[in-house]
Amino acid sequence: MSIHRTAIVEDGAVLGDGCVIHAHAHVTRHCVLGDGVVVHPGAVIGGDPQDLSFDPQLATFVRIGARSVLREHVTINRASKAGLATELGADCYLMTASHLGHDCQVADRVIMANAVLLAGHVHVGERAFIGGAAAVHQFVRIGEGVMLGGLARITRDIPPFTMAAERDELVGLNVVGLRRRGLKGTVVAELKAAFRTVCGPIGNPRELAAGALASGSFQSAESRRFLEFFAGGRRGFLRVRGAGDPAGGGAD
């Protein structure tokens, strides 16, 4: 473990083996850091929620998974309800000045580029990539394997394995990302079919996804996770707006 002499690590913070806390970083007593977490200069981890109704006396937490890297001036606020934690998974990389609001739940291997802003209660699935200066509304869910473009403004849920950009614009499937994960062609084809079934401009996505699951036509774990995503949430879903093949999502 390495803690720079100008860093602040409050009494009660829990740091795993091999953590590195750089100069002028601040880790509050509300934090639990896994093995090998790196916190760069100016980061503040475990600060109070930006919620005017919050009681600072509440015991709430931040939990960071092993080997995650928090670059300069990253801020992660602790949870807003007693006993709960804002959570960042393992092997994540948060670039300079990115922000996790209170009660966010971010899964493993997520990358957030510079100045990304996640409001409170946002959920992010594993292997998602969020482009620079993207801003995400509270309670939004970003699915597994999503690629979100820089400067995007997102107020609705983004289905797994897709690409999104601009103001709530669903672009298509993240086909390049799927292939880089080594998924078989049959799995990609099922995901394309599921996407076309649910994410077009017509119909209720929840009902369409439930019907697709009930049909038994989708057998891969990935296509079923895609369809099951539509059973949850409270913000509504991004939909394809343009013409053409909405499931293309990248070069073949």
Report, as residue numbers or ranges, the catalytic residues. 102-103, 120
* DSSP helix/strand/coil, 205: helix
- CA separation for the pair 221, 160 (Å, rounded): 12
Q: Are 64 and 106 in contact (CB under 8 A)?
A: no
∠127-140-205 over CA atoms, to 5°?
Answer: 90
- CA separation for the pair 136, 148 (Å, rounded): 10
